[in-house]
Amino acid sequence: MAKCDEGYLCEVCQGAVEEIAESDLYLRYVIGMLDPETLHTQAERHLHCNPSLAQFIVDDRFAPVLLEGDFDKRRLDPAFVAERERLVTRGWRRLQELRGSTLPIIDYPLDEVRASWRL
């Protein structure tokens, strides 16, 4: 089977990442952690398979993720955590809006991310 026929497989659990709303790759893209030119070269993961990022999603519709160890948000600077929670949660909410969307992929990121590309 050709790679493009396999769909997106999670590099952690090897399960299919079936929709954008559960995609770590697209969350990172939407919040500006990935350049659009490198999106196609990055590995995919389920959000829950990347707890270092998923722990910052704070929404009643998303099951909380806890990360033990040095990068547990409970051990990080509260100001950094608050800022990261705002950004990542906004990005996750954007993914929910994009489900079934026909927008071009270049329009997926948050407004401020797209604006930063125009500079």
In this predicted model, what pLDDT tens digit does every residue of 39-81 receive, in sequence order? 889 999 999 999 999 999 999 999 999 999 999 999 999 999 9
What pTM value is reported for the model? 0.90
Provide the residue ranges of all domains of the chain, joining segments of one domain with +: 3-114
Q: What is the dihedral of CA 33, 38, 44, 48, to 10 degrees?
A: 0
Question: What span, in angstroms and rounded, lies between the C-alpha atoms of 10 and 4?
Answer: 14
Cβ contact 56:86 at 8 Å? no
